Structure 1
Amino acid sequence: MSANPPAAVPPAGPAPGRAFTAVVNPSAGGSAATAILVPLARALREAGAEVAVEYSRDLAHAAALARDAAGRGHVVLGVGGDGMVGCVGGALAGTEAVLGIVPAGRGNDFARQLGVPSDPAGLAALFLEGEPRAVDAVEANGVPVLGSVYAGVDAVANRNANRTRLRGSAAYTVGALRAVLAWRPADYRITVDGAVLDRRGYTVVAANSGFYGFGRHIAPGARVDDGLLDVVVIRDAPRLLFFAVMRELSDGSHVRRPQVEVLRGREVRIELLTPGRTLPYGADGELPGELPVTARIMPGALRVLAPR
């Protein structure tokens, strides 16, 4: 923690007797995490709440810390970006535990979808006074995640962004540019609730949340509480056209293009048909493995403090 923390945020209101454990990714957001967490913890304590802070060594440790805190009846705060929030939320999915999101990473896309505030005062008010909301999660090859599962040029861009020293949107922009310039179209087999489609293109996204990749609105119709995945397929197109599609991801208007196909279902399997080729799949900003991947919706599996 900083020796000279920012000024305290005024208490958000009468404390409802909640106890919190913040599970922190020390590397996510760097000093940004401290800048949010210090005044947030102070505001919660001044309102009478109990606050513990735990620093994780890695994602597996973060999941264990989250389950331990939930077992003690604490609201678990995931402090970091989408990878940390997805890990902590995934560890709590299917239980009665409550998650709070402290957006302190590069993307913060699940927090963006839920409308979670990013300032300490707004977070304190939400955590002290908000009621848990049931949202869907996704099981990807048996592992619970929150936002989306994607397999294509975006997963390669994700890998590039994770390897760069750049921060924020610059990491995703440069990573995506490098991925697109080197991309060779992939042949996919996509099975949505038993219906089989073969497609050639740039990516397949099974989205619970509408946002990914630092605010790109990949699935504007996606809802986190409808019990469905929005499956977005970006089919093969000239690179110049794909760059136009990338620009349109900022507002979701790409879905009007004929090269973009949107399906919906409860279970999606994505396979790569290109012989001798491997392709990573991404989930919540992490890269858990390579295709194939099966994504299944987990309706109402997570209780989270978020605006309704």
Structure 2
Amino acid sequence: MAARRTLLVVNPASRGGRTRALVDPTRDILRSHGWDVEVVVTESAEHATQVAASVDPDTLVAALGGDGLFARVAAGVMTSGALMAPLPAGRGADFVRALGAPRHLREVASRLPLAIERRVDVGMAGDVPFLGVATLGYDSLANTYANDAPSFVPGALVYAYGGARALVHMDPHRISLRIDGETFDFTGWNVAIGNSGRYGAGMRVNPEASMDDGLLDVTVVADMPRYRYPAMLPKLYSGTHVDGRSVRAYRGSVVEVLEPTGADLYLDGDLAAPAEGVRTFTVKPDALRVLAPVSPAPSA
């Protein structure tokens, strides 16, 4: 039986460059399975997509990095038809969490031969794929600050750090959405459009989101006084923040953001290209082939 061809795609900037030290140990684990492993260190986000798009469909593309790299590699394998294995080496590992896989790199890499291939939905912001969440408003500003967080801030706290800074510098604004043809208007803080519905190292901003239902989940933080926002943030980890009043949840297959226009858009924690006018979000059901082991259920 021929050795499984595996392309290990590495984001050298992940975790402030510390991912480089994980390349050799990860390659050795994959080779211990009898796999033929080639390493590609990406030069840019676009390079990661190009590499994944150019492989043979029978290749396993193992992405070593964070959620931003996973989204870029996913965009590529959607073109090539190859199978993707996310290997967590970033701060958040939210896509891995959503898949129910272990969050520790060595455990994921060691258990890949036992994993079963599955297909998951992919969100689309125009023609740009995203796996987790697209955000506009407060979350986008928090992302900006989180990405610039000092290295001494633990991974689980970088979004809390970014959120605290964003709360100081932002005010509520007009939000207008059209979801499957129905329009909703608010004065509020934030819009989160979810495929997996997870971001921020474990936050469940779209608590009912699923990657196999062919739908996008939308969470809007609307009429909430500034002083109450910090008290809501811890609830994001349990998904208990949606109350139907200040925090509202919707679901649909086509989501259009009518306002704000020209606002910063983040996809899986990375800033998207600027765009004016209406932004349209859709979903491609079962568009991504994924290989990831599932964490064992806790014993009773």
Report the counterpart of residue 22 of structure 1 in structure 2. Answer: 8
Alignment pair present for 1:284 and 2:268: yes
1:225 counterpart residue number:
212
In the TM superposition, residue 30 of structure 1 has moved relative to its aligned partner by 4.2
Q: List per-residue Cα deviations over 1:49-93 (Å, max 9, x = no partner).
A: 11111111110011111122x326321111111111111112222
Aligned to 1:265: 252
Q: Structure 1 CA distance, aligned partners of 2:32 and 2:111? A: 15
Cα 1:285–1:120 change in 2 (3 A) is closer
71, 83, 105: which one aligns with 2:56: 71
Partner residue in 2 for 1:88: 73
Report deviation, 1:38. Answer: 2.8
1:148 counterpart residue number: 133
CA RMSD of the aligned region, Å?
2.1
Letter in 2 for 1:285: G
CA contact (8 A) 1:20 1:76 kept: yes
**TM (normalized to structure 1)?**
0.87
Per-residue deviation, 1:304 = 0.3
Distance 2:79 2:227 in 1: 43
**Residue 124 in structure 1 maps to residue 70 in structure 2:** no
Match of 1:161 among 143, 146, 157: 146
Structure-2 change in CA distance of 1:215 and 1:120 (3 Å): closer
Q: Deviations over 1:177-230 (max 9, x none)?
A: 111111111211101111111111111111011211221111111111111111
Letter in 2 for 1:218: V
Partner SS state of residue 66, structure 1: helix
Say if 1:93 and 1:144, in contact at 8 Å, map to a contact too.
no
- Partners of 2:280 and 2:287 in 1: how far apart? 18
Q: C-alpha separation between the residues in 2 aligned to 1:295 and 1:93?
A: 17
Kept after mapping to 2: 8 A contact 1:95/1:302: no
Q: How far, CA to CA, are the matches of 2:40 and 2:175 in structure 1?
A: 42
Following superposition, the deviation at residue 173 of structure 1 comes to 1.9
Flag structure 1 segments of 5+ consecutive residues without an equivalent: 1-14
Which of 114, 131, 137 is the matching residue for 2:122? Answer: 137
Q: Is the 8 A contact 1:281 1:293 kept in 2?
A: no
* Partner deviation per Cα, 1:27-53 (whole Å, 9 max, x = no partner): 102465245443332122122111111
* Contact residue 234 and residue 259 of structure 1 kept, 8 A: yes
CA distance in 1, matches of 2:125, 2:57: 28
Residues 170, 142 of structure 1: alpha-carbon distance in 2 compared, 3 angstrom cutoff? same
Identity of aligned residues (%): 34
1:232 Cα offset (Å): 0.7
Distance of aligned partners of 1:261 and 1:158 in 2 relative to their CA distance in 1, 3 Å threshold: same
Shift of 1:112: 1.0
Which ranges of 4 or more aligned residues in structure 1 deviate by more than 4 Å?
Answer: none
Q: Which residue number corresponds to residue 161 of structure 2?
A: 174
Give the alignment partner of residue 104 of structure 1, picking from 61, 85, 89: 89
Q: Partner of 2:234: helix, strand, or coil? A: helix
User: Residues of 1 paired with 2:106 and 2:63: CA distance?
Assistant: 17
Relative to structure 1, is the Cα distance of residues 269 and 226 closer, same or farther in structure 2, using a 3 angstrom cutoff? same
243-252 or 115-124, larger mean C-alpha shift: 115-124
The question of 1:251 aligning with 2:251 is answered: no
Greater alpha carbon shift after TM alignment, 91-100 vs 174-183:
91-100
SS at match of 2:156: helix
Q: Which runs of 5+ in 2 are unaligned?
A: 295-300
Local SS of the residue matching 1:85: helix
